[in-house]
Structure 1
Amino acid sequence: MPDDIPAGFQVISRSSPYIDMVGPLYYKLTDEGLQVAFRAEEKHCNSRGFVHGGMLSTAADIALGYGAGDFPNGNRAMVTTSITIDFAGSAQLGDWVVFKTDVQKVGRMAAFANTYAHVGEKRIVRASGIFSVLDGRS
């Protein structure tokens, strides 16, 4: 693990071809819930050097879904039904971006969660997601 990754964060090993492409992503479990983070690399940035909104949206979706799915302890299969995201700031090349997730409810058919992205103490994104809980059928 690179030396510039804050203590307590581990690489997300449950991956997919898409997550491999945008990663590495990291996680940490806290008393407040799951945190998902990444170090902003050139591949995450737009031509102005800011982290692209698509990358922030991707990381928010992962943080929301993994949080509601009880990652890394659980393996509840879910798919994103809806995600709403608001950008209140920005991240730049080299920034450590952390998504702090708050799960509202996980039911038999749906799960609801919120996440907030921070660079240091500055909140830059808020997102909420609704997930359909899969019961083994496609």
Structure 2
Amino acid sequence: MSTAIPEGFERLKRGGPYMAGLGDLYLREDEERIVIAIRVAERHTNMRGIAHGGMLASLADTALGIGLTLSCEARHSFVTVSLTTDYLEAARPGDWLEAHVQVDRIGGRVAFAGCRLRVGEKAVLRAAGVFAVMAPLTPAQLAAGY
């Protein structure tokens, strides 16, 4: 099982205590897209040996929130109002799982974004979310990894 981190990704110290329990997250950001990634591990699997659907949904939800925050000049934070997921394929231990985020709109009270979780070119999950726009995180919260 490969443990190498693909070029262009940097360790992301965000996501709060829950996501920290799932493992290290990585970020690649360019002009076109924000990508949040994780290496699927045995601890992420269900009884069938594939990534648990709850883990995939957690990654999608977190990636959408981080993507919105990074896209917002005021660096607001966002709280999930609605998250829709469609499971398309399985992810397995050792897979480099990427969440490709697309921010659709950030308004004064709500924001809309979607993402696809992918392993290489294989789409694993698609998600769409609606988020409440919250006040920016404090420096102390950011330092703590929220």
Structure 1 length-normalised TM: 0.90
Aligned length: 135
Q: Which residue of 2 aligns with 1:91?
A: 91
Equivalent runs, 1:1-138 vs 2, <5 Å: 4-70=4-70, 75-135=75-135
Contact 1:32 1:102 in 2 (8 A): no
Q: CA deviation at 1:98?
A: 0.5
Look up the equivalent residue of 1:51 and give its one-letter code: A
**Contact 1:12 1:27 (C-alpha < 8 Å) held by counterparts:** yes
Distance in 1, matches of 2:72 and 2:8, equals 14
Q: Report % sequence identity.
A: 39
Q: Which has the higher helix share?
A: 2
Other structure's SS at 2:50 match: coil
Unaligned runs of 5+ in 2: 137-146
Alpha-carbon distance, 1:3 to partner:
5.7
* Structure 1 residue 44 displacement after superposition: 0.7
Q: What is the CA RMSD across the aligned residues, in angstroms?
A: 1.9
Instruction: Give me the whole-angstrom Cα distance separating, in 2, the residues matched to 1:100 and 1:32.
Output: 10
Give the TM-score normalised by the residue count of structure 2: 0.85
Following TM superposition, by how much is the alpha carbon of 1:74 offset from its aligned partner in structure 2, in angstroms?
A: 5.6
Give the gaps of 5 or more residues in structure 1.
none
2:23 maps to a residue whose letter is G
**2:79 alignment partner AA:** V
The one-letter amino acid paired with 1:120 is G
The CA distance in 1 between the partners of 2:123 and 2:116, in whole Å, is 7
After TM superposition, give the deviation of residue 73 of structure 1 in Å: 7.3
Residues 3, 42 of structure 1: alpha-carbon distance in 2 compared, 3 angstrom cutoff: closer
Superposition deviation, residue 72 in structure 1: 9.6
Deviation per CA, 1:94-134: give whole Å up to 9, x if none: 00000101000001101100100111111111000110002
Tell me, yes or no, if the aligned pair for 2:85 and 2:127 is still in contact at 8 Å.
Answer: yes
Q: How far apart are the structure 1 equivalents of 2:34 and 2:125?
A: 16
Question: Which secondary structure does the structure 2 equivalent of 1:60 belong to?
Answer: helix
Cα deviation digits, residues 55-104 of structure 1 (max 9, x gap): 10000001111111126976312100000000011100100000101000
Deviation of the 1:30 alpha carbon: 2.2
